[in-house]
Structure 1
């Protein structure tokens, strides 16, 4: 057992207890799946999910149904939690963010087939460099952003599966092998102000892969497959889950919200790990609050909850352990909403809502330079994210991280230039 040293009176919780807490959500998904659907439909839906195109935006709720989607999310989350357990890693903010991001993207883009070649590549990279796999695990978990390319090659080449499947797996292994050194270099581009650093890395690597495939006549077509069937259910379901997360954190923090206000003082710039800075109880409280506020944001814009929006909600919640809080995230969301109001896009569209939620990758800019700059960052982010997807053909699921990297790389030096000129 290990006690977090904070200025709160947090109850002692150890590594195993935290992993059990992290397993609650996927277990709820698993139980709910079999309450909402039959085993036969779930198996059929999982097969449809596995063989479908996964480029942006393909909603697994529409492709395979809610039961299969919940099972897909539960399995991916639980397997990754088991990997963390076997590697004897202490749960920190980065791992929590990675688990919630993988779980969220299990609603669109990542499935129980297409992520594992990337893990194999990461494992081989660790062996080649003679380092422990656990030292690169977080990067590999996030690098499944490029998992759609595996589906596209395996099932989209219109060739014999015996030829296309090995090629797809080799592409995945290659991605997993090179993503770690690439990501460390990309971090310098935005200086830690883009929380989805792998999104920028994966976007550039995806651009290279897509260009290569296009040069051989294989064009990846963008998708727009979105569900409208489960809107009300998902809103109630996730509101309850996020509320339970706050309650859980409240009890772990010895029935107190003490320490929450201090989280709001951090800029969120990489690396800001709330579990280490303020303890697990306050972190879980912050995660739940971020979930409820993000859900309210989606509803207030008139959004219909579907797989991609659920993915965005869970990602924001995960990063509530690793850099995001109300003070630095809300200006970005409002900047995106303001941009949608006066620009050409419908404010209630899934793409705009995703830009507002995922756009909080730029939260450290608002945290460091204030809410007005945060509004400007969100305003700019919407324009960039709506136009950069074409270069990678939608195979980079973290398109907002890709766009956010460019916004941060341009905006932060300009801000610094004005500061130095004062």
Structure 2
């Protein structure tokens, strides 16, 4: 009986990657449509720009800071950005990647935006390039590491620096952070012996 059940289970096919891509792209488009339900294009653009240039302290509620439409647009853009990164890495959309995508969507309502996440993502992918590893090896560090996005905004907009200098410091800090996250996460997993499902979060804490 057990052997028959195992044989039947082995016949199940996983959801094709293109279908999962379509689901997340569809979710992004749905959030964009909903954004225009709440606010006008002008309000969305002004709110989106306000979100991008805010210090983005982790508890900053983007709906209170800007408006619901701009916040939904930010979440949609962040989701599409993450999907582009996954596609660039030629990675399968598996359980950990799906977990990272939903975390990105959730934190796009407070703390994360396109400006403060990209340097971290690029830093993590640059580490893979420099060490001649497949980009996929640094993908989860790139996606989960965007949790430190507020660091980029804090350095850029909340230190009293002139805009050019603030942008330089913020982007540099984010890139360096992303660059050191993959090897750090690989090392720190020895602390938890692999029992932590959010090892990159643990690494971000360090």
- Per the TM superposition, whether the score is higher than 0.5 is yes
Among 116, 119, 138, the alignment partner of 1:117 is: 119
The answer to whether 1:184 aligns with 2:178 is no
Distance of 1:41 and 1:184 partners within structure 2: 43
Give the match for residue 70 of structure 1. 72
CA contact (8 A) 2:56 2:112 kept: yes
Distance of 2:57 and 2:167 partners within structure 1: 17
Mapping for residues 25-44 of structure 1, pairs under 5 Å: 25-44=27-46
Distance of 2:8 and 2:102 partners within structure 1: 24
The answer to whether 1:195 aligns with 2:194 is no
Distance of 1:149 and 1:79 partners within structure 2: 19
Q: How many Å apart are 1:47 and its aligned residue?
A: 1.3
Distance of 1:43 and 1:6 partners within structure 2: 52
Distance of 2:151 and 2:8 partners within structure 1: 43
Size of the aligned set, in residue pairs, is 200
| Inter-CA distance 184–45: structure 2 relative to 1 (3 Å threshold) | same
Q: Deviations over 1:363-413 (max 9, x none)?
A: xxxxxxxxxxxxxxxxxxxxxxxxxxxxxxxxxxxxxxxxxxxxxxxxxxx
- Normalised to the residue count of structure 2, the TM-score between the two structures is 0.90
Distance of 2:121 and 2:199 partners within structure 1: 18
Q: How many Å apart are 1:17 and its aligned residue?
A: 1.4
Distance of 1:48 and 1:93 partners within structure 2: 33
SS of residue matched to 2:203: helix
Mapping for residues 244-259 of structure 1, pairs under 5 Å: none
Give the match for residue 23 of structure 1. 25
| Inter-CA distance 48–23: structure 2 relative to 1 (3 Å threshold) | same
Q: How many Å apart are 1:24 and its aligned residue?
A: 2.5
Distance of 1:158 and 1:6 partners within structure 2: 63
SS of residue matched to 1:91: coil
Distance of 1:109 and 1:57 partners within structure 2: 7
Distance of 1:105 and 1:154 partners within structure 2: 19
Q: Deviations over 1:295-333 (max 9, x none)?
A: xxxxxxxxxxxxxxxxxxxxxxxxxxxxxxxxxxxxxxx
The answer to whether 1:93 aligns with 2:124 is no
Q: How many Å apart are 1:185 and its aligned residue?
A: 1.6
Give the match for residue 175 of structure 1. 177
- Normalised to the residue count of structure 1, the TM-score between the two structures is 0.45
SS of residue matched to 2:56: coil
Q: Deviations over 1:1-57 (max 9, x none)?
A: xxxx97187577422112112223222111100111100000111111112122231
Q: Deviations over 1:112-138 (max 9, x none)?
A: 111111122112211210112222111
Distance of 2:140 and 2:169 partners within structure 1: 25
Give the match for residue 162 of structure 1. 164
Identify unmatched segments of 5+ residues in structure 1: 205-422
Mapping for residues 328-343 of structure 1, pairs under 5 Å: none
Give the match for residue 333 of structure 1. none
